[in-house]
Amino acid sequence: MKFALLLALLLPLHAQEVPPVAPVPAPPPPAVPDDGVRVSVLGYHDFSETASETEMVIRTSKFRKQMESIKNAGLPVIPMADFQAWKRGEKEIADKSIVITIDDGWKAVYTDAYPVLKEFGFPFTLFLYKNYVDGGGKALTSEMVKEMQKNGATVGSHSVSHSYPGPYRRKGAEVYEKFIRTEFGDSKRFLEEKFGGRVTTYAYPGGIHTAEMDPLAKEFGYEHLFTVLPGKIRRTHDDHRLPRYIILGTRDRVFELATGFNEVAGAPGGHSPEIAPQSTPYPVQPEPGMVIDSRLPLLSADLSTVPDLDPKTLSMKVGGFGEVPAVFDEQTKSYSWQVNRRLRSPACQVAVSWLDSKGKPPEVPLRWSFRIDAEAAYLPVE
Ligand SMILES: [Zn+2]
């Protein structure tokens, strides 16, 4: 599968099989309120001390240094089970927690990464795809996985075949559903039988998620599903589209961003001239003046405290897009739009307007802007 990964990296973004983004319905009302905690999930692939570094192959010594810096920074590395319990609202965890995940199942996970993780006592999750387990050559064997399970490893699914959905989706709804059922269902059964326990986490191959996957993920008992879009996770984040930083062997900046939690302070030059520190009359996302590292953020305003709001008059305008089809959630009173085309400029302005039932606009207009970290946002898909 390495060849496919490399090929994916070489292709320009638009040439990859990323299906058209389906219209995003209003986000479901957050079941558990935001507790202010942010979690960073790191995604690794292959390791080597001698092979040449690539984006997907990181030097073992560099990996060791990264683990050391996490330890020195006092960032807690938590097991996936704790992350999941926190996400469900069953457990409290520390802010700035780290979750370590490793995709595909390369043998070097066992020979190179595992000794380091064991030394630091860091738990980790292996996202394995069925067809590569015991696949010979550079693949992990199930014995290796079982041994790592004794020392901090847990197993999540990374599909059966590591295929991208595009070709199946183009063949129609029936073929596509069958494909998703196999990738979700057979991998889960296989991994649970082989390694025990319940498999409730999933890493989308290539990070590609489509709306058709959501009901089936639920049906098969997957709770937490990860993309490869970088970003910190909050408790209210959509469980089916959880961000993850793919740590690249050749670009240290991604690791720095993943383990840096003070976004604004970490921005080059602090606040940029076009973005003065701001505050808005109502809570918004991304926060005003924030530097984010995703080009596809969810834009959202919490209007639950607006007096006498007439939802029919709501309108959202986004720089470079004009008026966008934002959706008002009657339950949470949030007004949101999922950016569906990568933001191109380094700063983005958002304006939300409305009238009250007497036709009067708000006293203070709701306008804000945030910045996009250009380098971090340029990340290849897995
Ligand atoms: Zn993969």
The DSSP call for residue 110 is I
- How confident is the model over 235-292, as pLDDT tens digits? 999 999 999 999 988 888 889 999 998 754 333 333 333 333 446 777 888 887 777 8
Same domain, 306 and 246: no
Task: Give the bridge partners for 349, in sequence order.
Answer: 369
- 374 pLDDT band, cuts 50/70/90, is low
Place of tokens 């690791």: 255
Q: How far is the CA of 298 from the centre of ligand 1 (A)?
A: 25
318-346: average pLDDT: 89
pLDDT at 2 over 80: no
Domain boundary among 194, 226, 259: 259
Provide the pLDDT confidence category of residue 361 given band limits of 50, 70 and 90: confident
Mean pLDDT of the chain: 86
Q: Residue 13: pLDDT above 60?
A: no
Nearest Cα residue to 243 out of 73, 38, 58: 38
Domain with residue 214: its CATH number is: 3.20.20.370
Q: Considering the domain boundaries, does residue 27 fall inside one?
A: no
Residue 223 lies inside a defined structural domain of this protein: yes
Q: Is the pLDDT at 19 greater than 90, yes or no?
A: no
Chain segment 145-193, per-residue pLDDT in tens: 999 999 999 999 999 999 989 889 999 999 999 999 999 999 999 999 9
Query: Do residue 252 and residue 290 come from a single domain?
Result: no
C-alpha span between 314 and 302 (Å, rounded): 13
- Continuous H helices in 89-186: 107-108, 114-120, 142-149, 166-169, 173-181
Same domain, yes or no: 226 and 336: no
Dist. CA 160 → ligand 1 center (Å): 11
Total domains in the chain come to 2
Query: What is the band of 375 on the pLDDT scale with cuts at 50, 70, 90?
Result: low
Asked if residue 241 belongs to a domain, the reply is yes
Residues 93 and 192 in one domain: yes
The reply to whether 345 and 254 lie within a common domain is no
194 has pLDDT over 60: yes
If asked whether residues 241 and 329 sit together in one domain, one would say no
The CATH number of residue 299's host domain is: 2.60.40.1220
Q: What is the pLDDT of residue 14?
A: 39
Structural domain containing residue 180: 32-259
> How confident is the model at residue 130, as a pLDDT?
98
- Average pLDDT over every residue of 302-324: 90
Q: What pLDDT, on a 0 to 100 scale, did the predictor assign at position 38?
A: 95
279: in domain: no
| Mean pLDDT, rounded, for 51-67 | 93
Q: In this prediction, what percent of the chain has a pLDDT beyond 90?
A: 61
254 and 130 co-located in one domain: yes
Which pLDDT belongs to residue 274? Answer: 34
Cα 168 to averaged position of ligand 1 atoms, centre (Å): 18
pTM of the prediction?
0.66
Name the region of 89 (left: φ>0; alpha: ψ -120 to 50; beta: rest): left
pLDDT (0 to 100) of residue 271: 35
Q: State the amino acid at position 373 in one-letter form.
A: D
Q: Does any domain span residue 9?
A: no
Is 278 inside any structural domain?
no
Ligand 1 centroid to residue 4 C-alpha, Å: 10
How many angstroms separate the alpha carbon of residue 25 from the centre of ligand 1?
A: 28
Instruction: Give the burial class of 56: count Cβ atoms within 10 A of its Cβ; 0-12 exposed, 13-18 middle, 19 or more buried.
Output: buried
Strand partners, 275: none
> How far away, in angstroms, is 104 Cα from ligand 1 center?
5
Among candidates 99, 225, 162, which has minimal Cα distance to 382?
A: 162
Q: Is residue 8 part of a domain?
A: no
Using the mean position of ligand 1's atoms as its centre, give its distance from the Cα of residue 133 in Å: 13
Q: pLDDT value at position 135?
A: 96
